[in-house]
């Protein structure tokens, strides 16, 4: 899983610096580990990567906590929380991803009556009746990532 996550990241962020390439490999490894430890599937990994791309652009200064959205939106997954917890998430990428995976699953379940493209509304806004625009953007990224993964697997002769 980490290999194809990295391949997708590099398709999204081509021609990285050596430092960024190493960080992207670390992100892919951490993301795969978190998804796998949560019993997740390729689908959850694609959703997690799509959220990270949408929320942070995988930027180094967001990844390490130097830049935060709205003051307490932190880490690759842009988790909104209180300052102490934000500091913890900024210091621990895997914990950031764990929280993001839990929130994504919660949103998908809570918003299950919504169209598929709107089921991450609660992730984006805290409610299923708001955040549809962000949810649709994330799900659009996810769909493009899934298409690219399918292409990569066909190209290598896999499933």
SS3 69: strand
pTM over 0.75: yes
DSSP, res 79: E
Length of the chain: 159
**Assigned domain for 31 exists:** yes
In a domain, 130, yes or no: no
**DSSP label at residue 75:** T
**104: alpha, beta or left, given left = phi > 0 and alpha = psi -120 to 50?**
alpha
Q: How many domains does the chain have?
A: 1
* 133 belongs to a structural domain: no
Q: pLDDT in tens for each of the 159 residues of the chain?
A: 999 999 999 999 999 999 999 999 999 999 999 999 999 899 999 999 999 999 999 999 999 988 887 767 999 999 998 888 989 999 999 999 999 999 999 999 999 999 999 999 999 999 999 999 999 999 999 999 999 999 999 998 855
**How many alpha carbons fall within 13 Å on the CB side of residue 139?**
18
Range of the domain at 52: 2-113+142-155
Q: In this structure, is residue 45 part of a structural domain?
A: yes
Is 36 domain-assigned?
Answer: yes
């Amino acid at each position: 899983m980490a290999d194809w996550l990295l391949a997708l990241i590099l398709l999204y962020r081509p021609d990285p610096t050596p430092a960024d390439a190493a960080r992207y490999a670390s992100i892919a490894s951490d993301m795969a580990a978190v998804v796998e430890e949560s019993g997740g599937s390729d689908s959850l990994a694609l959703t997690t990567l799509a959220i990270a791309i949408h929320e942070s652009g995988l930027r180094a200064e967001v990844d390490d906590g130097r830049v935060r959205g709205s003051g307490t939106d932190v880490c690759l997954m842009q988790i909104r929380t209180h300052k102490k917890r934000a500091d913890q998430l900024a210091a621990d990428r895997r914990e950031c991803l764990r929280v993001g995976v839990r929130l994504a699953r919660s949103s998908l379940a809570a918003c299950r009556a919504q169209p598929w493209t709107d089921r991450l509304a609660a992730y984006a806004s805290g409610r299923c009746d708001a955040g549809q625009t962000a949810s649709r953007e994330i799900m659009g990224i996810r769909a493009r990532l899934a298409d690219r993964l399918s292409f990569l697997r066909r190209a290598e002769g896999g499933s």
